[in-house]
């Protein structure tokens, strides 16, 4: 059976949801795939419920050679945040993959929580300069101890239900108070 439009609200990234279900149905595993997507949706909803009316803003920040990105609505991590739902700062509320900022604009990343990753070697990026810089130290998330490194492979390169569940586990542990 082909996935319905309702299936598109079950897990991160619409094309990946559809592809996941199509691949599963090819091997006769559609029921298992739907169960995984339903479990993901339940876990995302549980985090949102646990937070109640308190919805902290989240910035997914990634250091890359030659650029620094704030991931937005059309990114994998943006869709996971939407599924919980957890808001992002205004600059990230765009129908784009990411917004690039310079080290001098890192204050635009400020949120209640900043989760940052690095693509490749940190020495090939401006991560050390930004994290050691005076402007970084003025950010609310940094001052409150709520700027945390995360797995680049999961948060920024991840796709699918397994990666989404790993991100949810991180969000549950950091933002929603653990277990």
| pLDDT (tens digit per residue) in 134-176 | 999 999 999 999 999 999 999 999 888 999 999 999 999 999 8
Every domain of the chain and the residues it spans: 5-51, 58-174
| The pLDDT of residue 1 | 46
- From the list 27, 15, 21, the residue with the least C-alpha distance to 2 is 21
| The pLDDT of residue 179 | 59
40 touches 11 (CB < 8 A)? yes
CA distances (Å), 11 to each of 7, 78, 81, 95, in order? 8, 12, 11, 18
| The pLDDT of residue 159 | 83
Four-point Cα dihedral 83, 87, 89, 91, nearest 10: 40
CATH architecture of 58-174: 3-Layer(aba) Sandwich (3.40)
What's the predicted TM-score (pTM) here? Answer: 0.88
């Amino acid at each position: 059976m082909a996935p319905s439009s309702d299936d598109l609200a079950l897990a991160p990234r619409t094309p990946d949801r559809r592809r996941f279900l199509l691949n599963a149905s090819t091997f006769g595993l559609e029921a298992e795939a739907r169960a995984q997507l339903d479990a993901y949706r339940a876990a995302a909803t549980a985090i949102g419920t646990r937070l109640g009316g308190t919805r902290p803003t989240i910035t997914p920040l990634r250091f890359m050679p030659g650029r620094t990105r704030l991931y937005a609505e059309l990114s994998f991590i943006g869709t996971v945040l939407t599924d919980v739902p957890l808001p992002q700062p205004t600059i990230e509320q765009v129908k784009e993959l990411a917004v690039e900022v310079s080290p001098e604009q890192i204050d635009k990343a400020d949120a209640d929580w900043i989760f940052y990753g690095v693509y490749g070697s940190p020495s090939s990026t401006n991560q050390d300069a930004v994290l050691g810089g005076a402007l970084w130290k003025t950010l609310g998330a940094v001052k409150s101890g709520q700027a945390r490194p995360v797995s680049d492979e999961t948060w920024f390169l991840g796709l699918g239900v397994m990666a989404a569940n790993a991100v949810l586990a991180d969000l549950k542990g950091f933002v929603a108070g653990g277990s």
